[in-house]
Amino acid sequence: MDKEALKELLNDMSLEEKVMQLVQIPGSEYDSDAEITGIERGQAKDRVKRLAGSTLGIWGSRRLRKIQEEYMKEHPHHIPLMFMLDVIHGHKTVLPCPLGQGATFDPDAVRKGAALQAMEAAADGVHATFSPMADLCRDARWGRIMESTGEDKLLNSFMAAAMVEGYQGGDLKDPAHIDACVKHFAAYGAAEGGRDYNNTELSEHTLREYYLRAYGEAIKKDPAMVMTSFNSINGIPATGSTFLMKKILREEFGFKGVLISDWGAVGELINHGYAKDQKDAALKGMTAGVDIDMCSGCYSGYLEELVKEGAVSHEMLDEAVLRVLNMKNDLGLFEDPFRGLDKESAPVITKEGRLLAREAVAGSLVLLENKEKVLPLKNEKNAFIGPFADTKRLQSSWAFSGEDDNTVSVWEAALEVYGAENIRTAAGCTMFDQDAVTARGIRHLDNWQEENERLLREALETAEWADTVVLCIGEDSTQSGEATSKVSLQLPAVQLKLINEIKKTGKRIVTLIFTGRPLELKEVRELSDALMICWLPGTEGGHGVLDVISGKTSPSGRLPVSFPYTVGQEPLHYDAYPTGRPKPEKGPFEYTSRYLDCENGALYPFGYGLSYTSFEYYDAKLSAEELSANEAITASVRVRNSGNTKGSVTVQLYIRDVTGSRVRPVRELAGFKKISMDPGAEETVSFEIKEEMLRFWTAEEKWESEAGKFLVWICDSSVGGKPLEFSLR
């Protein structure tokens, strides 16, 4: 439909129809099998169901076709209903959870993964996904860290932008693509104490420098939607904040698409103490610029009244409705309301999709320790022990359209590689401690004690038989994701007991950690000969893990987030501001900024990760000592694969602005390159440094660079390398 026709349509719509385009209701209102939480089926009145502009949480072309057919018949202007879904790290083929994708340091792979997700979801009738989550996250207590790509603004920016590109492709009318929704605007990841939905207190410069960056970069890729966040920022709930939504999102970022609230967030303005009732909440949501009210009922209940009374102007309403109509039009829904709904069966997982997922898993695994080169595994007696050894539950709580049945477990993949005669498996213990609280409630097992005694006996027998134990432990997928904040980052006690008992057998231990968040691994590090983070790897988890531990592929993932010694260090991030009393490298340490009982830095820092081969960095240099505007300096380093196997290395560039009108972080990631190298190969890796990369939110509240001295590291983690120096004129 052309723009004129769209405007004519808008002018022809009744006030009620217009308001309802801004209303989203749960899919359970249309289909009782919907995978969503929240309000019960049957709460929306008939009129809302007939006219609501969009719904969420349902998929499947036959199912959606039926709903769309009925809906279109009833709708006075035959405006199609839009179907949205959380396709977070896979629809049918489930990729590693977003934090694992961050660990790949490979935006191209992430873009391809998003395109695969879009293709599968589109073929299942889905029009839009609520992804990417561009929230910066520095606190492992917050369970949604699993849905982020980590703690770094640059890495997050690359990944969020790549996801938008992958989902949307070049042309949204292409039936293999879907709308992206950048969320949760803004600073949802900064929740105080890591407690989900909690307030955030951020100075404007920290907000702008760190928390807003990845949303901004993703928005440059023109996503169809942005979602508000649940939290308040400096006392104003994001969903009601005109500063965030009007000034920053619309004016500064130039966002032209649809702004949708998070689930119920307009109504939650009342709980925040920011709106007195639902009507007031609807007014505050509209005034802030929220176009679609996701499931709170405030717009459907009160927006019409507010327009009639003049509290919300017709212009304001029309602008919002037109944005929604445009979004539907961009997808070609007016020409084909049954887009993606012509298939008789669900999309199938393809060989190509599996391969892509398998490579993504292999690229996401982070090898933290490999004492005595115990990995890759030798072809001897290997025992796969632990609650993650023989489970298909390898995807996160945000992959509900993917089915566990399609997942390849570690054990299944191990059988393919080593054959049944050479390997054994045992669960070793339960996944949970007795009465562990998860997002799905309390896990209580009546015979927990006896069951664990039996499992341990079995595991120890299996370990006695083996040369090496591959211990597959970690945090269940119901313990990360939404509403899973924790004050402990320890593995379940029953799992720690298992590793301690196995250690007593004297066998080599290769520990694989499956997790959606950083955990405390000091004890596990001491007990393990090799230690690797496998995240929540998804459908091809087993294959990807086996590709790496068998030596078919060398591990190449890097930590996208700091792993602390102890939870007491959280929030923890490498790009901290300096202090007036920095802790010196060598003592005395008294009266310096430090913990008495712990290191300041991470146990495993951001950017860290080992390979089976070794890389040497030498001849690091800058092409000039001075930089001026419109010029660039080249920072380069020679890298050599000095080991015996092929491997990938992620060369990282960090910069520090030594003196500024505001304090600047001790280091900031300014670039990275992941390259694959044969043994003995050498190459020069270079980065351009330009003046614009040195800009920050100055004391004068402007994005500017300031003349002075800068330090540069070209190295292999956020704590590595020796600094070079240049100055900005």
Contact residues toward ligand NOJ (CB under 6 A) are 56, 86, 130, 183, 262-263, 482
CB of 411 to ligand NOJ, least distance (A): 32
Tokens of 660: 């500024």
DSSP conformational letter for 243: I
Q: CA 573, CA 567: separation in Å to the nearest integer?
A: 13
- The enclosing H or E element of 709 equals strand 708-715
Which lies closer to ligand NOJ via its Cβ, residue 483 or residue 666?
483
Nearer residue to ligand NOJ within complex by CB, 59 or 263: 263
Residue 130 vs 255, nearer CB to ligand NOJ: 130
CB 237 to ligand NOJ: min, Å: 14
> Which residues lie across from 423 on neighbouring strands?
382
Return the structure tokens found at 235. 């006392």
Selecting among 31, 139, 262, 280, the annotated active-site residue is 262
In the complex, what is the shortest distance from the CB of residue 438 to ligand NOJ, in angstroms, rounded to a whole number? 17
Nearer to ligand NOJ, 35 or 403 (CB): 35
Nearest-approach distance from CB 183 to ligand NOJ, in angstroms: 6
Considering the complex, state which of residue 209 and residue 482 has its C-beta at the smaller distance from ligand NOJ: 482
Position with the least CB separation from ligand NOJ: 130
Question: Which CB, 18 or 183, lies closer to ligand NOJ?
Answer: 183
Can you tell me whether residue 531 is helix, strand or coil? strand
**Cβ nearer to ligand NOJ, comparing 249 with 456:** 249
CB of 326 to ligand NOJ, least distance (A): 21
Nearer to ligand NOJ, 110 or 146 (CB): 146
Compute the least distance from the CB of residue 135 to ligand NOJ, in Å. 10
User: Which residues, other chains included, contact 452 with Cβ-Cβ below 8 Å and sequence gap of 6+?
Assistant: 429, 430, 494
> Closest approach of Cβ 230 to ligand NOJ, in Å?
6
- Reduce the DSSP state of residue 545 to 3 states and report it: helix
- 709, 658 Cβ separation under 8 angstroms: yes
CB 287 within 8 A of CB 241: no
**Which tokens go with 229?**
């966040």
Residue 596, token pair as written in the block: 């008495």
The residue type at 276 = K
Residue 678 annotated in active site: no
**How many Cβ atoms sit within 10 Å of the Cβ of residue 93?**
28
Question: Is the separation of the CB atoms in 715 and 721 below 8 Å?
Answer: yes
| CA atoms of 643 and 650, how far apart (whole Å) | 16
Nearest to ligand NOJ of 239, 370 (CB atom): 239
Through-space distance between the first and last CA atoms of the chain, rounded to whole angstroms: 53
The span from the CA of 331 to the CA of 292, in Å, is: 17
Please state, in angstroms and as integers, the Cα–Cα distance from residue 719 to each residue in 529, 625, 668, following that order.
23, 23, 11
Torsion of CA 153, 607, 682, 627, to 10 degrees: 40
CB 148 within 8 A of CB 208: no
Our CB check for ligand NOJ shows the closer of 294 and 321 to be 294
Least Å distance between CB 129 and ligand NOJ? 9
> CB of residue 273 vs ligand NOJ: minimum separation in angstroms?
21
Do residues 197 and 135 lie in contact, with contact meaning Cβ atoms separated by under 8 Å? Answer: no
**From CA 88, how far away is CA 86, in angstroms rounded?**
6
CB of 443 to ligand NOJ, least distance (A): 23
Residue 298 corresponds to which amino acid?
Answer: C
Task: Output the six-digit token pair for 102.
Answer: 């961050």
3-state secondary structure of 493: helix
DSSP for 244-265 reads IIIIIIIIIS---SEEE--TTT
Within 10 angstroms of residue 461's Cβ, the number of other Cβ atoms is 13
Peptide bond into 132 cis (omega under 30): yes
Positions annotated as catalytic residues are: 262
